[in-house]
Structure 1
């Protein structure tokens, strides 16, 4: 089974909900298995402050998870048009993976959530791609062949799945947001599978 790592940071549940839909999409591809992981919170001075094991939900990610995955979907809430500090803090500690080249040639995608429609989603998604490109990964978006990308009235972009949470605190994904996230996970897994089969055929 190819491991599709769905790595996220979520404070209020919106990014987690997207991560779950992306995982469902990845799991729908035969031969692929979604693995949900998160990162610890950090303090205002960028030190890890959470316990070594979360009380509930997905386990914290390790560099071994990165090395062993066949593909990566990475999600964070929008923070002034960029990823949250907790995700950046984790990525800043992955130089060992970069040196070993373990992520080179693997497919990746990104996803996010913001409170408002124009809350910086696209700039967050684009800047989240940069460290993945430095790692040598092949970044995938969501093509307009997914009809919801062109018609969504909430989240969902060609750069990656997204969610507009609003102010009601419910954090419920719209039907279009769910479909886009599912399609993103499915496409990521299909690409990882095709690359794996191609390598085997060329061996």
Structure 2
């Protein structure tokens, strides 16, 4: 499936076939594709928890406003943003850039290091939280498009108690959970209603200035 078809056909599906599992190989390919998502300075501040166990999904459903799709979907992904990605990945990223010719010497490497620290501040700063959440959102959207390209449906959710999810799934307190993503195949008899309204693009396009 080409990218345009995957984007235009993607819908947020509420009713999944609980009896049809997502093959491990397919899930792996979807995640590998999503991992090509862009991120600031290539810092890739994302993690995911793949929830398949029935009991774990039951617990997650209680954290997620009792939404049935959390249990019905064969896979639910807890998408986690890591504000500490700068500390964890920057040196590896810089070494890779130097090795591949994106940077030419140690001086350029140091300049990028300083720029990153200046841009994103300390791990608990507002700048860093925005950085981690924004870039992880790129990953999440890419993952949903990739899932559609592989013939699966998804539903992103931000209706959940983050503290509950952190507690029940051992997510460190200093991480952020931007969304959950239910993933699977739709129920065989599912008939989608007409796509909900979309604002005309001329409502939000601004030429040169707001």
The TM-score bracket by the shorter chain reads: under 0.3
Higher share of residues assigned helix: 2
Q: Which has the larger radius of gyration?
A: 2
Question: Larger RCO: Structure 1 or Structure 2 (Cα < 8 Å, ≥ 6 residues apart)?
Answer: 2
- Give TM-score, length-normalised by structure 1: 0.28
